[in-house]
Amino acid sequence: MPEATGNEEARDFIRDLVQSDLARGQVQSIVTRFPPEPNGYLHLGHAKSICLNFGIATEYGGRCHLRFDDTNPVKEEQEYIDGIKRDVRWLGFDWGEHLHHASDYFQTLYDWAEHLIRSGLAYVDDTPPDEMRAMRGTLTEPGRASPDRDRSVEANLALFRDMRAGKFPNGACVLRAKIDLASGNINMRDPVLYRILHTSHPRTGTEWCIYPTYDFAHGQSDALEHVTHSLCTLEFADHRPLYDWFLDHLPVPARPRQTEFARLNIGYTVLSKRHLTDLVRRGIVNGWDDPRMPTLAGLRRRGVPPKAIRDFVRRIGMSKANSVVDLAMFDHAIRDHLNQVAYRRMAVLRPLKLVIENFPEDHVEELEAVNHPGDPAAGTRTLRFGREIFVERDDFMENPSNKFFRLAVGREVRLRYAYLVTCREVVKDADGNVVELRCTYDPASRGGNAPDGRKVKATLHWVSARDALPAEVRLYSTLFNRPDPGAGGDLDADLNPGSLEVLSGALLEPSLAETPEGEAVQFERLGYFCPDMASQSKALVFNRTIDLRDTWAKVQVQS
């Protein structure tokens, strides 16, 4: 498992707060938590929270808990629980012995709900949901009291126990806290603590038919686990007074401190679990791990290394104000890492046959090619070169423009690791399409350099016709063609119809058959690619991780 410390440490207002709390003796050791709801797969926004919570715990010698907020069994599935565990580990973190679930505390939470009732701070309300919502008021109008707000403690206890015993149908009543209906913060206007859900739970089965709300379970779970710093995104800032109110009025064993940071927003990307779920259910994408999805499963399948994600999170830092991060910055982090570690290979995505007429027909030469130009320790591999090879169709132009320096009739180019060749003739089919190039080579230019020192302006990649392996290559682009998808009111209208292009006739050098699933390599001159999970030895499938163009670097130069 990759390390998640070292040069990934950063300074920000949350780390300053943690350090201050330690220095003042406010806390003795750091305990954080990552509390996902198992109703979908983790995405890039979750990665920011994971890196923050696990990173801080590691940096300060503490621990981070993985706790599933499994309080809504209607939407939760074991598939999501397993996927979340897999994604957190893949990203480079481990919770050790500290795997927890809100459902671990269902009995304690129930007991504390009765504690609030006995204290006169909670009541059972059977107001219909629509009426209850309207009675909570607006930002400019206070809430109105339910007729049930003044029920006696004894009546509320009896009704709550009847709820627990399953005597009421779904939606018949709820348990609400009695706080302040005139509060300017709507979250404090008698929020719901428990609702009735007659459905099986992934862990507790049918033991419970009432379930705590997130607001009631979250802070108390933090307290039971002795979490010191509860780190949440900014949308929970308005919930912090409620978080603290529960801690003030319940016999909790510890008092966590909630601090908010800006969630991740990134251009051309949707990070709403609701929208992502909808895309999956409607078949707009091919599952949660579709390489176009911003899920960690999708990024993994696309070949994005976990360290690139951690580097990206470190670079963008933590702030107190929401903003949108340029997608090019994420792309830059991916390229920056892959450029350092990815082996180089040759592949031709749109093949065009090239016949070297003066090369012996049955002769095969073995050429040495480096695996990584910046890492001599990566070694070399052997390429076989013969009379017939394939080059990229885009590397030939019948009527070249002034700035086109690749293949054209009468023009000489370099074949990577091989020879200088000159195009002599173009072969076309009956429809006038170019199907073959007839060339000659300079036998004295082995390795790509002419003995007379003449220069050529282009170096092309190629594959041997004798050895090349057929493959399907999937070219992925952004799922949306607008930097702020859905801002116009219609998310589907912003879908990119060209987000996936499938090339069924690609040809690869033989060594690519040994590439491990999910490990990105560089197809020279084309980009970074990785084998898909569906790839097999006799039916290779590669996904494009990212192309070679680094727009973020250009932005940095221009700024």
Write out the catalytic residue numbers: 37, 263, 273
Residue 151 DSSP SS3: coil
What distance in Å separates the CA atoms of residue 433 and residue 247, rounded to the nearest whole number?
75
DSSP H or E segment with residue 93: none
Q: Is 443 annotated as a binding residue?
A: no
The Cα-based distances of 504 to 79, 344, 471, 478, 497 in angstroms read: 32, 22, 6, 21, 19
Q: Is 43 annotated as a binding residue?
A: yes
Planar angle of CA 219, 252, 207, nearest 5 degrees: 70
Q: Is 191 annotated as a binding residue?
A: no
List of residues 6+ apart from 209 with CB closer than 8 A: 163, 164, 166, 196, 197, 198
Q: Is 224 annotated as a binding residue?
A: no
What distance in Å separates the CA atoms of residue 280 and residue 500, rounded to the nearest whole number?
16
Token pair recorded at residue 256: 């966590």
Residue 331: what residue type? D
Q: Is 48 annotated as a binding residue?
A: yes
Q: Name the one residue in this structure whose structure tokens are 């090879």.
A: 389
Q: Is 337 annotated as a binding residue?
A: no
Q: Is 47 annotated as a binding residue?
A: yes
DSSP bridge pairs for 96 = none
DSSP H or E segment with residue 305: none
Residue 243 DSSP SS3: helix
Token pair recorded at residue 293: 């999805």
How far does the chain reach from its first CA to its final CA, in angstroms?
37
Q: Is 101 annotated as a binding residue?
A: no
What distance in Å separates the CA atoms of residue 341 and residue 378, rounded to the nearest whole number?
9
Q: Is 275 annotated as a binding residue?
A: no
Q: Is 44 annotated as a binding residue?
A: yes
Count CB neighbours of 42 within 10 A.
26
Q: Is 464 annotated as a binding residue?
A: no
Token pair recorded at residue 213: 């709300």
Q: Is 38 annotated as a binding residue?
A: yes
Q: Is 263 annotated as a binding residue?
A: yes
Q: Is 39 annotated as a binding residue?
A: yes
Q: Is 487 annotated as a binding residue?
A: no
Beta strand pairing call for 434-441 and 351-356: parallel
* DSSP classification of residue 394: G
Distant-in-sequence contacts of 426-435, Cβ < 8 A, 24+ apart: 426/398, 434/352, 434/393, 434/396, 434/398, 435/352, 435/353
Token pair recorded at residue 264: 């991740």
Q: Which residues are annotated as a binding site for L-glutamine?
A: 69, 214
Q: Which residues are annotated as a binding site for ATP?
A: 37-39, 43-49, 233, 263-264, 271-273
Q: Which residues are annotated as a binding site?
A: 37-39, 43-49, 69, 214, 233, 263-264, 271-273
